[in-house]
Amino acid sequence: MDSTFGILISLAAIVFTFLPLLRKGKTISPVDRLHRNRESLEFDLENLETHLRELEFDFKMGILDSEDYKESKGEVQQQIDTIHKELTGEKDSKKTLSCPSCGAAVKAHNKFCKSCGHPLK
Ligand SMILES: [Zn+2]
């Protein structure tokens, strides 16, 4: 009985010693957080795409009727679109283009500069 109590005390001591260290290890810098967000978005996207395939499969197998399938598919597709927008929006903000001639901000899909008419690649 005494030895069990002793073990419990030492276990408690170990937990109290290492718990703050474990918590410290989990704090991440803002840069890591950005990176993590992107990774988690990509992770969510994969999950949603898998879910979409599962829905399709269930529909083909006759588990889902067409109304349920359309509704669920619409919801998942919407979430996928939102994540796509977030991911591409991030890419676009990194690729801020400027006109080589006048320096005005131009969009990647523009063929000519709206400010001076300089042809863009
Ligand atoms: Zn220009």
Cα(97) to centroid(ligand 1), Å? 11
pLDDT for the residue 9? 78
Q: Which residues pair with 112 in a beta bridge?
A: 119
What is the Å distance from ligand 1's center to 108 Cα?
13
Centre of ligand 1 from the C-alpha of residue 92, in Å: 19
pTM of the model: 0.47
What's the CA-to-centroid distance between 100 and ligand 1, angstroms?
Answer: 7
pLDDT at 57: 97
Q: Give me the number of domains the chain comprises.
A: 1
Question: Is residue 89 one of the residues assigned to a domain?
Answer: yes
- Asked whether residue 114 is domain-assigned, the answer is no
Residues of the chain under the 50 pLDDT cut: none
Residue at 28 is within a domain: yes
Residue 66 within a domain: yes
pLDDT at residue 25 in the model: 53
Q: What is the phi-psi region of residue 67: left when phi exceeds 0, alpha when psi lies from -120 to 50, beta otherwise?
A: alpha
Residue 12 in domain:
yes
Report d(CA 41, CA 80) in Å as an integer. 10
Structural domain boundaries enclosing 38: 2-106
Ligand 1: distance of its center to the CA of 117 in Å?
6
How high is the pLDDT of residue 7? 78
